[in-house]
Amino acid sequence: MQRVGAVLIDIDGVLTVSWEPLPGAVTALERLRERGLRLALLTNTTSRTRNSIATVLAEAGFPVTADDVLTAPVATAAYLTERFPGARCLLLNSGDIGEDFAGVTVMGPDEEGVADVVVVGGAGPEFGYAALNRAFAHLQRGAHLVAMHRNLYWRTASGLDLDSGAFLPGLERAAGVEAEVTGKPAGPFFAAALARLGADASETLMVGDDIESDVLAAQRHGLTGVLVRTGKYRPETHRAASGSPDHVVDSFAGLPGLLERLEG
């Protein structure tokens, strides 16, 4: 690849786990800043707004602001506004993302009427039978299905937890529809980050712990993929993946060293 000019970075499992910084991650991000690289944090996290994410990271010592963060909910809101203007949306998600969903009409939990779009975010206690069955009912009536991502699980301080990607195929198969995905691994999500940075794919790294959604998806869109062995990384998933990462490092702390080798 040509000289590295920009880096896209996943957050959960790469910089933090349960919002606690991983060893060496703060220092590594500071070193990337010192090199003058253009940086964007891309996350499928759906439980927090971009401002909340930036605040938590800054308090932990990371040199970031809200302008550095691009989330799946932000991308989803933009997609819904453009593709389904004025639509009534049933949002199935764990966490408060109302601030990032400004301009989108979200149905209340007990609101009557038919949804135009069923939007699936991140899993949590809200993903019970009643909520999934309500979403299924709207899909049977013709609602479109939009998913912020297809992540099967994520890493917490206590281990791996199921995410909405474990439920999404069931909704698709039962309703006979296919979800339109707006976060990673969707190409427009990477394209939006590149456009924000004014960077070309050929000069950009994507660093993530999800080999399929973060790394291989980015490689399919012309970016250079870097897989970290932290977060949701599992050796068996790595071996069974649909392709090979361009680079693998033990953790984000090793990224500055990788950059030096690439440019050396």
pLDDT by residue (tens digit) across 77-110?
A: 999 999 999 999 999 999 889 999 988 999 988 8
- Looking at residue 136, its pLDDT comes to 98
**In whole numbers, what is the pLDDT of the chain averaged over residues?**
95
Q: Angle at which helices 187-197 and 72-83 pack, to 10 degrees?
A: 100
Structure tokens at 159: 């281990």
Question: Averaged over 233-256, what is the pLDDT?
Answer: 97
pLDDT of residue 182: 96
Q: What per-residue confidence (pLDDT) applies to 187?
A: 94
pLDDT tens for each residue of 108-143? 888 889 999 999 999 999 999 999 999 999 999 999
pLDDT mean over 189-202: 96
CA atoms of 132 and 88, how far apart (whole Å)? 17
217: left (phi over 0), alpha (psi -120 to 50) or beta: alpha
Q: Which is more confident, 136 or 155?
A: 136
Please name every residue paired with 217 in a beta bridge, in sequence order, or none if there are none: none
DSSP state of 12: B
DSSP 26-43: HHHHHHHHHTT-EEEEEE
pLDDT per position as a tens digit, 40-80 = 999 999 999 999 999 999 999 999 999 999 999 999 999 99
- Give the pLDDT score at 110: 83
Q: How high is the pLDDT of residue 139?
A: 98
What is the average pLDDT across 178-194?
95
Most confident by average pLDDT, 148-157, 222-231, 255-264: 222-231
Residue 1 confidence (pLDDT): 63
Beta-carbon count within 10 A of 237 CB: 13
Identify the pLDDT of residue 2. Answer: 73
Interstrand relation of 159-162 and 153-156 (parallel, antiparallel or unpaired)? antiparallel
The model's pLDDT over 14-38, given as tens digits with 9 standing for 90+, comes to 999 999 999 999 999 999 999 999 9
Percentage of the chain beyond pLDDT 90 is 91
Average pLDDT over every residue of 167-183: 97
Which residues, including other chains, have CB under 8 Å from residue 130's CB and lie 6 or more apart? none
pLDDT of 246 reads 98
